[in-house]
Amino acid sequence: MTNITVFASHGGSDMQAIIDGCKRGAINGKVVAVISNNADSYALVRAANEGIDRYHVAQSKYPDEASMVNAIMEILESHNTDMVFLAGYLKKIDPSIIRKYKDNIYNIHPALLPKYGGKGMHGIHVHTAVIENGEKETGITIHRVTEEYDSGAIIAQAKVPVLDGDTPEVLAARVLEREHTFLVEVLGEITNR
């Protein structure tokens, strides 16, 4: 069984999909910890509701970045983390963590990378750009995390249509709905290898 630590900054609905997938056996794993950089993140509430250890880790709580990185590393190690999954986490992961968990840190991105990736391309910004550029399809990418934003090896992608009249918010909701099922499918394949 794979011990998964999820990093999330806001609502945590993708994280909830992972938790639910683990509980019903679609993912051969267990979410052992949740880390958020946002004290008001609903992901932390979801973790509490599920009885999962949760941590607010933000730069404001530590004297320097090295101390914060050490705190994250201690959480990962104390929970015997096998996989780190970034589910809407809006902070860059320190290179030392990426090296320690090489090939076992994954991110979900709400577009078909390499399009609409990189610094600042997250959430509604992605969907706005997709619509403004007249794309007929968008989607979801699950990829390995490297030191450069959204540049790691692509593990899987799912396409989602862009419909006439879509607003960024309507498109975001359609993509998010597919994210929840796609995440479980892909993590199921990864954890059952």
The one catalytic residue among 56, 79, 109, 125: 109
Measured between alpha carbons, how far is residue 9 from residues 37, 45, 162 in Å?
6, 12, 26
Annotation marks residue 127 as catalytic: no
Pick from 89, 95, 76: nearest CA to 33: 76
Q: Decide: 130 and 116 in contact? Cβ < 8 Å.
A: yes
* Long-range CB contacts for residues 157-165, cutoff 8 Å, separation at least 24: 157/112, 157/113, 158/182, 159/112, 161/136, 161/137, 162/130, 162/131, 162/135, 162/136, 162/137, 162/138
| Residues belonging to the active site | 109
